[in-house]
A and B are shown apart, each in its own frame.
Chain A
């Protein structure tokens, strides 16, 4: 029933590992600017996931806020401080 044709569960199966990988990467990359950009990618993948789950408004907002403004804010901060993180 769940595995019907109207839903993109295959897409889902592909995207979720990528999201998790992005999350792990964002936390482990030592370069903070890189980490900020990976966080942006994470947000963008999330946004795709939500579109796939038909949450268009949420995806729209996340695209503007999460992938857009948040990333810029993170970047702005990362550029203001020492770029290398210890862990």
Chain B
């Protein structure tokens, strides 16, 4: 079986690498991918959305629908892990899982974490808010926010962290983030434009359509960040404690 797989992958790989010939050269500015859609984006994005970070603009606006479902993927993953691991069936537990032993509490670690976490969260907020102009956005910021909680849990312990950030509020926030995203889209729909057409907000907020695009994107990025933050921490909490939410690593 193993040999067969190896053989198959080798043959497939050889064929694929041979066929790379047919692909455009790496870095070729005249390849179809670089000449068909992307020039339009590059030339018009600032005019159409007033957001200079092309990736953010496409992510949150042109392909905002994709990104909404991407958030849903995260949300879904969190719920999935939760449903799989947090099952109250202790009876037929064959093996008691070997728990990583924690020897005392490390003061240096804890103090460093205490020093590190506030700037980390601040940075995360910056990443979210400044995603229009620099690399970053909801995902990155959300992950960093989530990581700050993970750091807290790693340096202290999970139980203590969970007191700060309860499981039920994790769920609430994860749902809330998606709700903010989809809600912004639905409001556009109610205001008479298509789903996720942020321009619809302009009359409502009394701003120009261009600004509405920018604000809409910020709104959805915040939604994304909330969900991602909650789910990243929830993933860690469930996986690190084997679903029991007690000690963690």
Contact = CB atoms under 8 A, between A and B. Distances in A.
Direct A–B contact in the complex, CB atoms closer than 8 angstroms: yes
A77 B232 CA distance: 15
Contacts of A49: none
Interface string A70-87: 001101110111100000
Interface in A35-87: 56-61, 64-65, 68-69, 72-73, 75-77, 79-82
A72 B158 CA distance: 14
Contact of A80 (B53, B55, B98, B146): B98
B177 interface: no
Interface stretch (B24-32, B40-48, B109-117, B201-209): B24-32
Interface string B70-81: 000000000000
B25 A69 contact: no
A56 B249 CA distance: 32
B240 A2 contact: no
Contacts of B136: 57, 60
Contacts of A7: 27
Nearest to A73: B239
A69 B232 CA distance: 7
Nearest to A76: B240
B168 interface: no
Contact of B139 (A61, A68, A79): A61
Interface residues of A, number: 22
Contact of A65 (B98, B100, B143, B150): B143
Given A69-B236, A80-B242, A2 B147 contact: no
Contacts of A76: 236, 239-240, 249
Contacts of A69: 143, 146-147, 150, 232, 235-236
Interface string A1-21: 010000101000000000000
Interface in B120-142: 135-137, 139-140
Nearest to B81: A73
A38 B154 CA distance: 20
Nearest to A63: B140
A2 B55 contact: no
Contacts of B137: 57
B140 A73 contact: no
Contact of B147 (A59, A68, A80): A68
B119 to A, nearest CB: 15
Contacts of B105: none
A11 B208 CA distance: 45
A60 B98 contact: no
Given A57-B135, A64-B144, A80-B99, 6 more contacts: A59-B135, A64-B147, A69-B146, A69-B147, A69-B235, A72-B240
22 contacts: A2-B25, A2-B27, A9-B27, A57-B55, A57-B56, A57-B135, A57-B136, A58-B55, A64-B139, A64-B140, A65-B139, A65-B143, A68-B147, A69-B143, A72-B150, A72-B154, A72-B236, A73-B235, A73-B236, A79-B249, A80-B97, A80-B239
Interface of B: 25-28, 53, 55-56, 97-100, 135-137, 139-140, 143-144, 146-147, 150, 154, 232, 235-236, 239-240, 242, 249
